[in-house]
Amino acid sequence: QPDDRGLIGDVPVLRVTRRGPEAVHFVPAALEPGAEVLLSLDWERRFDHMQQHSGQHLISAIAEQMFGFKTTSWELGRQRSVIELDTPLVAAEQVEALEKSVNEKIRDRVPVTVRELAADDPEIETVRSRGLPDDHAGPVRVVDIQGIDSNLCCGTHVSNLSDLQVIKLLGVEKGKKNKTNLVFLVGNRVLKSIEQSHSTEKALTSLLKNGPGEHIEAVKRLQSSVKLLQKNNLNLLRDIAVLIARDFKSKPAPKQLFVLHRKEGDSEFMNIIANEIGTEETLLFLTVGDEKEAGLFLLAGPVEAVENLGPRVAELLGGKGAGKRGRFQGKAAKMSRRGEVQALLQEFISHQNPEA
């Protein structure tokens, strides 16, 4: 269970941890030894943890009673909690039955009590437990849900199951080593989840212009439309790449350096241009993406030239890349330095061809 938060006087408590029998409080300012202070607890946080923790005890106990599923661990998360069950499979019907049973116990208003036993009390052997910490000292706390469960626990709990309000099992997920994770919400978290879901539903109703019952079909239609548009856009980009290459090749005296930037495009777009132009004699520097931020680049041309220039181009663009057989491509973080790359390539060509 996560630790409590609050104030010691007016000093916030950042963290609380246990060292043996002592609770160590971490604070951002020194406190005067022996001073009398008012302790203020973040009750909303504490009560949330109480609800989730007592809910876990109840779910674990009923899951073992009904189906023989033992709890091997659990996690109290910030938004949802998870119980790890020692079983490779939990059927949907079992989840439904478990949820029904635990909520019946809540409506029965079953008391929850805390007892302290001596560490050598033989009764400890009859209580559900995963063992004590190596540095444990002092009495042992036992949390009892009357007639349902007795469990060794150092956490905070409600005094009656009615304080849990309601438990919602969100379903199961595959765990590790043939185990299953059961996801759940208790009490106020259920109310917050419903509120959030309702707000999302209202927003989708406004955006999709239809009722909640039609949201799924509307989203499926939008997904199909987007896929079709993406396919058409890809085909157009391919056609544009071919036309750009043909235009370059149709000129009477093609230059030895070809430079092109296009905001819309991808690696395939650049490679089509390189394929169509040919890289035996022409050095190509192609980029796609935002002109002043990040994007993709391709350097293509004679093998020796690309091997020599590729890493330097990547360095200038603040990116990384790799290449082989006359192609060097990768990601660029500083597209605004394309001009420096072009100057580098132009200088390289000038040295290769002094007469140019």
pLDDT-based confidence at 356, cuts 50/70/90? very low
The pLDDT value recorded for residue 139 is 86
Ordered structural domains, the chain, with CATH: 6-41 (no CATH), 43-130+139-204 (3.30.980.10), 236-352 (3.10.310.40)
pTM: 0.73
C-alpha–C-alpha distance, residues 323 and 313, integer Å: 12
Q: Is the pLDDT confidence value at 331 over 70?
A: yes
pLDDT tens, residue by residue, 89-109: 999 999 999 999 999 999 999
Instruction: Return the sign of the alpha-carbon dihedral for residues 111, 112, 118, 122.
Output: positive
C-alpha–C-alpha distance, residues 302 and 280, integer Å: 5
Query: H or E segment at 85?
Result: strand 81-85
Q: Is the pLDDT confidence value at 332 over 70?
A: yes
**Mean pLDDT throughout 281-306?**
91
pLDDT-based confidence at 235, cuts 50/70/90? very high
User: Which of 62-71, 168-177, 245-254, 279-288 shows the lowest mean pLDDT across its residues?
Assistant: 245-254
pLDDT tens, residue by residue, 192-213: 999 999 999 999 999 999 999 9
Q: Is the pLDDT confidence value at 296 over 70?
A: yes
Instruction: Return the sign of the alpha-carbon dihedral for residues 87, 89, 95, 96.
Output: negative
